Chain A
């Protein structure tokens, strides 16, 4: 689970729920990921405008103000092919997210199954630098299933 030293996977986490954001950041950091947390869409956009570009964007769909899809769209305009994990507690919007977010996007539903998330993050980080095209449309993984 822990990436090899020197090849740390950097993640920008956009999460307005402080408890979730902190808990997730804590776990991911322990597991060797490089984490930055933005508590709203505007902050996340501002960070995406600076270098270095994160390897993966993990965004909650529902955010105060600018929503997760807009953050993803903004990130993809700056960095085409940016790997994205979208997190939502609204299963009915998954279809819309799949259409709106473009590839490569993984959609996870809340509450997050941590192991599921890290598996997806490792896969997305392994794929290499942003910009490299990835096959296949978004994939849906129902969180917290069959543990």
Chain B
């Protein structure tokens, strides 16, 4: 309370033990008598230390002990002589810190001090009675101060150590946190799922790589933007979009799984199956709703195709049965019409009647072609492969269409590879493919009042390339599903020609693609050239 504000800790300690100038004087007088005992006391002191393993362990050798003995003597001299000032405190504290540094256990510091205290007490006891009491008091005080200083150095060390440990611990925690944050960030970034976070207002606050990949938007384009407006197709904004916003605002419980088309940057829609997780009310701009999504577009499309082909297969089976049943009456009708036509000719029937009969015959033929194509499409037989000269097949197919082509002013030319190309295929089916393509090409130029059709055959390293090119008006649309069954652009087409082509080529492990613009349409057929043995002496070559 009344202490001056500048009092040092040592002064405060001295005040506490009531160490006075009288004590300093008593010590000085004690010192005069005791000095001659100091070497002995120091010797005893270090002899005692030798008896205790842990205390002794801090020494490095005899030379050091000798040095320490001398410094203990000086220590005792200074204790008696003083002055007990700031530099005294600092000197003592320095010694204490050496003890701490070399790892002397505290208990040895106490017991050592007790040893010195006992030795001094004996000397003080020898003094004349008047001096003896004062010396004992002064010694008790100064030795307690010594202990206090020593303890203080130990305390400093403890504090420093604790701080160091804390610092290390903090550092470790910080590193751990950074690592785990990095791990989470990587997991979110690299996961092959879309990870999108929305704030309570439905703005994008998190957008990972996969989300960028699927939507085509870069992160900086969407962060802070309105998710519903940016990514949902217009038709879904009111219903699904509103529900999502309500979920982000915490106004309604989230549906856990939410499958919805997302409009990518290109305008294409990708179906994404989201799992939603509401993180709870949050401060502005942090994530309130997590949406983890998977692009299921291909999966859904595959399912749809599977469903469709199952439906088609079921319908196909029924229809194929029906088609068979139709063939018998068609057969009967055709034979009877043939007979009727003949009877009319013989009986000089009217030209009109004869024409009508021919018309009926042609219609039956058309119906039967439809049935035949349909059966080929709906009930394909596996290809019967034989080494086949593609040149020969090309020439056969060209010959078949030439008459029809001439009638509609279409000029069909062939441009075949000079070396014969023999491939293991079902010759009849490949001829069917070429016929269908050539007929389509002829029909295409017929609409334009005539033109050119080219059938080209080339060898590629692993494939035979067959091109059917025409200079007709081209396909009405590049996206027209021309290879689908029953899609037709022709008034009298069955819509099966290209579907059969596609099917036959798939069965052969081949492929077809089309490149069309007004004035030039090319169908490119690729047939794999098998790795089988050379088939140069194919029967097709000789039989043509």
What is the interface size of chain B, counting residues whose CB is below 8 A from a CB of the partner?
Answer: 29
| Interface: A133 (CB within 8 A) | no
| Interface: B330 (CB within 8 A) | yes
Closest to A21 in B: B332
| Interface: B462 (CB within 8 A) | no
| Interface: A6 (CB within 8 A) | no
Q: CA–CA, A109 to B372, complex, Å?
A: 9
| Interface: B329 (CB within 8 A) | yes
**Interface stretch among B125-133, B215-223, B362-370?**
B362-370
Closest to B432 in A: A142
Given A90-B324, A140-B428, answer yes or no on A147-B335 (Cβ-Cβ < 8 Å). no
Shortest distance from the beta carbon of B342 to any chain A beta carbon, whole Å:
7
* Chain B residues within an 8 Å CB radius of A89: 324, 327-328, 331
Q: CA–CA, A14 to B213, complex, Å?
A: 67
Q: Which of A94-147 contact B (CB under 8 A)?
A: 94-95, 109-114, 140, 142-144, 146-147
Are A92 and B428 within 8 A (Cβ)? no
Are B381 and A111 within 8 A (Cβ)? no
Shortest distance from the beta carbon of A2 to any chain B beta carbon, whole Å:
13
Q: CA–CA, A24 to B372, complex, Å?
A: 21
> Quick one: which of A111, A146, A147 contacts B330, CB cutoff 8 A?
A111
| Interface: A27 (CB within 8 A) | yes
Closest to B329 in A: A19
* Chain A residues within an 8 Å CB radius of B342: 27, 30
Shortest distance from the beta carbon of A31 to any chain B beta carbon, whole Å:
9
| Interface: B108 (CB within 8 A) | no
> Quick one: which of B332, B379, B381 contacts A17, CB cutoff 8 A?
B332
Q: CA–CA, A21 to B381, complex, Å?
A: 28
Q: CA–CA, A113 to B361, complex, Å?
A: 11
* Chain B residues within an 8 Å CB radius of A110: 327-328, 330-331, 368
Q: Which of B253-294 contact A (CB under 8 A)?
A: none
* Chain A residues within an 8 Å CB radius of B327: 89, 110-111
Interface centre among B327, B338, B339, B365 (most CB of A within 10 A): B327
Are B368 and A144 within 8 A (Cβ)? yes
Q: CA–CA, A66 to B424, complex, Å?
A: 37
* Chain B residues within an 8 Å CB radius of A111: 327, 330-331, 333-335, 364, 368
Given A20-B332, A112-B331, answer yes or no on A91-B381 (Cβ-Cβ < 8 Å). yes
Q: CA–CA, A23 to B331, complex, Å?
A: 9
* Chain B residues within an 8 Å CB radius of A94: 381
* Chain A residues within an 8 Å CB radius of B362: 147
Q: CA–CA, A91 to B380, complex, Å?
A: 9
* Chain B residues within an 8 Å CB radius of A114: 334-335, 338
> Quick one: which of A17, A27, A90, A91 contacts B339, CB cutoff 8 A?
A27
| Interface: A26 (CB within 8 A) | yes
* Chain A residues within an 8 Å CB radius of B379: 91-92
| Interface: B400 (CB within 8 A) | yes
* Chain B residues within an 8 Å CB radius of A109: 372
Q: Mark B68-87, 1 if CB is under 8 A from A, else 0.
A: 00000000000000000000
* Chain B residues within an 8 Å CB radius of A26: 335, 339
Shortest distance from the beta carbon of B310 to any chain A beta carbon, whole Å:
20
Q: CA–CA, A95 to B384, complex, Å?
A: 9
Closest to B346 in A: A30
* Chain A residues within an 8 Å CB radius of B334: 111-114, 144
Are B365 and A147 within 8 A (Cβ)? yes
Interface centre among B328, B339, B364 (most CB of A within 10 A): B328
Are A19 and B338 within 8 A (Cβ)? no
Q: CA–CA, A35 to B517, complex, Å?
A: 57
Closest to B323 in A: A89
| Interface: B140 (CB within 8 A) | no
Q: Mark B392-426, 1 if CB is under 8 A from A, else 0.
A: 00000000100010000000000000000000000
> Quick one: which of B330, B333, B335, B364 contacts A27, CB cutoff 8 A?
B335
Shortest distance from the beta carbon of B398 to any chain A beta carbon, whole Å:
13
Are B372 and A91 within 8 A (Cβ)? yes
Shortest distance from the beta carbon of A113 to any chain B beta carbon, whole Å:
8
| Interface: B336 (CB within 8 A) | yes
Q: CA–CA, A142 to B428, complex, Å?
A: 10
| Interface: B55 (CB within 8 A) | no
Closest to B330 in A: A111
* Chain B residues within an 8 Å CB radius of A30: 339, 342
> Quick one: which of A23, A90, A91, A144 contacts B336, CB cutoff 8 A?
A23
Q: CA–CA, A23 to B329, complex, Å?
A: 11
Q: CA–CA, A140 to B368, complex, Å?
A: 17
Q: CA–CA, A23 to B369, complex, Å?
A: 21
* Chain A residues within an 8 Å CB radius of B381: 91-92, 94-95
Are A112 and B324 within 8 A (Cβ)? no
Are B331 and A17 within 8 A (Cβ)? yes
**6 A/B residue pairs, CB under 8 Å, sorted by A:** A89-B324, A89-B328, A92-B375, A94-B381, A95-B381, A144-B368
The 9 closest A-B pairs by CB, nearest first: A23-B335, A19-B332, A89-B327, A111-B331, A20-B332, A111-B330, A110-B327, A110-B331, A23-B336
